[in-house]
Structure 1
Amino acid sequence: MTAHLTGPVAQEIAQRLQLALAPESLQVIDDSEKHRGHAGHDSRGESHFTVEIVAERFRGLGRLDRQRAVNSALGDLLRERVHALAIKARAPGE
């Protein structure tokens, strides 16, 4: 169900999303290397991510509400550790 996990931040993202949204499908992709030398790059790595998530919870919600649900589940990680997060959130069958 969850693929592309690398380090502890990616694992924490996946764990929080599993608990909050019970996704049918979840991929957490660490894009940090693509941003080496850019603003917000963290030398520790794990600063830029893409999350691809399919969850029943998203049915009937618009794009902004889906992103808010993901952001809410991640909370302090977004403030303290993650510089950029691309979200691809869908309901089953979309």
Structure 2
Amino acid sequence: MAIKEKIFVGIPSKIVGKEFANFFKKLTSKKEEVINVSHYLKQPFYEIKNVAIGLPFRIKNTEVLGIKQIQLNEIEKKKLVESVKKIKDNLSSLN
């Protein structure tokens, strides 16, 4: 008799439900909250533009207030720029 293993793929629904509830709570909150959103950068952000990256956005009562200001040190800035360059290089190799 063969033993069958259960293989689960993806995120369990309980976790998804909890995360969606937390997201919706922040989105509709009357106080300012921060959510991470993928955003296409048309204008330079730490020398980065013309690519979509995840950034923290300030929101309040379903209104997007803007990107939360981030103070990166030189090492963090260098790593961010290098990471985005790798993303762009990988994407351009798909063409």
Higher-Rg member (1/2): 2
- Higher relative contact order by CA 8 Å / sep ≥ 6: 1 or 2? 1
TM-score, with length taken from structure 1: 0.24
TM-score, with length taken from structure 2: 0.24
